[in-house]
């Protein structure tokens, strides 16, 4: 075979042929197909990643669960139960600082009629605290002791002989009584009567108390001419500092003596944040002349803001309690000495003690 024949065979052999150049339309269609395949592949990969992440999250944390249950007392319908934990009266209360000393004594027109805060012990002297209000718009002072006057059965107006017991140290008391407008002045009248009197003398009628020459009517003051009196000096009590709590009592209208009075107090924290209950407050509950101190059930570490929390209360009514209508009052004292008084405008709610 000559050289020319060898060259012609190589040039015509299909094994060495080159691929034909694609036409323009085919090139465009091929590019579109490639881009579609790429987008579809990317979407499949993304979905697969999300599914894997969800599966891993579920495997690690498990199904969604609710947070820890809130204490039942945080519901307006739930009640924190009463606990039998007697407490002692706080040794001190947070009070306002003494006001400025008024530059004038109180006059007749300044003072209201008087009333009595009475304490009748089972034995011994009977202490009656007479209270009057400065009803003027300016401050005045009431100092010194007082006298008691009344009318006998014969119609004679007499002034009772009395010893002066002078100023008595008392938490929050200021001597003399420094009275801002609408403030209260107090004086203690102690009456000691003979125990062997079979026919006690009748009480004086139209009783009054004389302060700095001013005679003030005190309708509820009880004085017998056969008893001896000791009268202290006029004083004022610096106002207590109030805790940021609004408290109301919900109690039955009556309770039988010898039974247990069960009632509730509703406490609202007026702050815009929770209020801690550490240390746990103590409270006084009073039914008539009977008062008890207990420690609150602080199952909640703090009071939520602006939400009513209900506390159950219990108080045993003595079997020999007088059958009468009395007042139920409640006051809590926080760890810093501030107080929260239920039904502050009325000093409590009425409850009738029945047979």
Find the CATH number of the domain harbouring 170. 2.60.40
38 found inside a domain: yes
252 is written with which tokens? 């039955």
Q: Are residues 330 and 296 in the same domain?
A: yes
My answer on whether 255 and 205 are in the same domain is: no
Domain membership flag for residue 232: yes
Contacts of 57 (CB under 8 A, 6+ apart): none
Tell me the DSSP string of 196-219. T-SSPPPPPEEEEEEETTEEEEBT
Query: Rounded to the nearest 5°, which phi and psi values hold at 29?
Result: -60, -40
52 and 85 together in one domain: no
Determine the average pLDDT of the residues in 177-184. 93
pLDDT of residue 314: 98
One domain for residues 170 and 217: yes
Residue 103 lies in a domain: no
Does residue 281 or residue 30 have the better pLDDT? Answer: 281
> What's the rounded Cα separation, in Å, for the pair 245 and 268?
6
254-256 and 349-354: which strand pairing?
Answer: parallel
Tell me the C-alpha to C-alpha distance, in Å, between residue 200 and each of 152, 179, 197: 14, 38, 6
Please check whether residues 229 and 258 belong to one and the same domain: no
Query: Residues of 225-239 as b/e, b for ≥16 C-beta within 10 angstroms?
Result: eebebbbbbbbbbbe
In a domain, 9, yes or no: no
Q: What is the dihedral of CA 216, 217, 219, 225, to 10 degrees?
A: 80
- In tens, the pLDDT along 219-243 reads 989 999 999 999 999 999 998 999 9
Q: Which of 237, 253, 280 is the last residue of a domain?
A: 237
DSSP 176: S
| Dihedral angle sign, alpha carbons of residues 162, 165, 167, 171 | negative
- Say which residue the tokens 């139209």 belong to: 206
Question: How far is the CA of 150 from the CAs of 108, 117, 215, 220, in angstroms?
Answer: 19, 19, 11, 12
| Band (265; pLDDT cuts 50, 70, 90) | very high
* Number of separate domains in the chain: 3
Examine the fold and report which residue of 199, 215, 237 is the final residue of a domain before the chain moves on: 237
- 45 occurs within a structural domain: yes
344: number of Cβ within 10 Å: 15
Instruction: Tell me, rounded to whole angstroms, the distance of Cα 250 from its chain centroid.
Output: 14
Distance CA 320, CA 316 (A): 12
CA angle in degrees (0–180, nearest 5) for 218-221-224: 135
Query: What's the rounded Cα separation, in Å, for the pair 243 and 94?
Result: 10
Helix (H, G, I), strand (E, B) or coil at 49: helix
d(C-alpha 307, C-alpha 319), whole Å? 38
pLDDT for 74: 44
Question: In this structure, is residue 7 part of a structural domain?
Answer: no
Please give the Cα distance from 53 to 60 (Å, whole number). 11
Domain match, 201 and 116 both = yes
Give the residue-averaged pLDDT of 159-182: 92
Predicted pLDDT at 34: 54
Check whether 71 has a pLDDT greater than 70: no
Residues 206 and 272 in one domain: no
- Supply the pLDDT for residue 239: 87
Query: Can you give the residue range of the structural domain that contains 163?
Result: 108-237
> Of 87-101, 105-119, 328-342, where does the model show the most confidence?
328-342
Q: Are residues 120 and 81 in the same domain?
A: no
Is 8 part of any domain?
no
114 and 55 part of one domain: no
Is 346 within a domain? yes
The confidence band for 297, taking pLDDT boundaries of 50, 70 and 90, is very high
- Mean pLDDT, rounded, for 43-57: 42
- Per-residue pLDDT band for 15 (boundaries 50, 70, 90) equals very low
DSSP three-state, residue 270: coil
Q: What is the pTM of this model?
A: 0.61
């Amino acid at each position: 075979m000559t050289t020319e024949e060898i060259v012609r065979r190589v040039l015509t052999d299909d094994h060495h042929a080159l691929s034909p150049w694609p036409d323009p339309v085919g090139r465009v269609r091929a590019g579109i197909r490639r881009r579609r395949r790429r987008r579809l592949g990317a979407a499949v990969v993304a979905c697969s990643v999300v599914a894997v992440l969800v599966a891993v999250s579920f495997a690690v944390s498990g199904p969604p669960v609710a947070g820890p249950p809130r204490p039942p007392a945080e519901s307006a319908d739930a009640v924190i139960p009463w606990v039998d934990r007697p407490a002692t009266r706080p040794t001190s209360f947070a009070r306002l600082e003494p006001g400025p000393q008024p530059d004038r004594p109180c006059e007749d027109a300044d003072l209201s009629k008087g009333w009595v805060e009475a304490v009748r012990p089972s034995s011994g002297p009977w202490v009656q605290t007479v209270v009057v209000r400065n009803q003027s718009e300016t401050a005045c002072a009431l100092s010194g002791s007082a006298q008691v006057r009344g009318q006998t059965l014969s119609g004679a107006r007499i002034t009772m002989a009395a010893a002066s017991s002078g100023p008595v140290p008392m938490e929050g008391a200021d001597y003399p009584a420094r009275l801002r407008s609408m403030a209260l002045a107090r004086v203690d009248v102690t009456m000691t009567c003979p125990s062997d009197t079979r026919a006690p003398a009748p009480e004086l009628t139209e009783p009054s108390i004389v302060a700095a020459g001013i005679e003030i009517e005190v309708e509820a003051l009880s004085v017998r001419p056969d008893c001896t009196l000791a009268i202290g000096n006029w004083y004022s009590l610096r106002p207590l500092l109030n805790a940021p709590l609004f408290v109301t009592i919900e109690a039955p209208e009556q309770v039988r003596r010898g039974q247990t009075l069960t009632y509730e107090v509703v406490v609202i924290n007026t702050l815009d944040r929770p209020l801690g209950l550490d240390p746990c407050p103590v409270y006084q509950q009073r039914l008539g002349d009977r008062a008890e101190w207990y420690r609150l059930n602080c199952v909640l570490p703090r009071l939520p803001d602006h939400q009513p929390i209900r506390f159950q209360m219990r108080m045993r009514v003595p079997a020999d309690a007088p059958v009468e209508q009395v007042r139920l009052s409640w006051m809590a004292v926080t760890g810093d000495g501030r107080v929260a008084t239920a039904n502050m405008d009325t000093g409590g709610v009425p409850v009738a003690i029945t047979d």
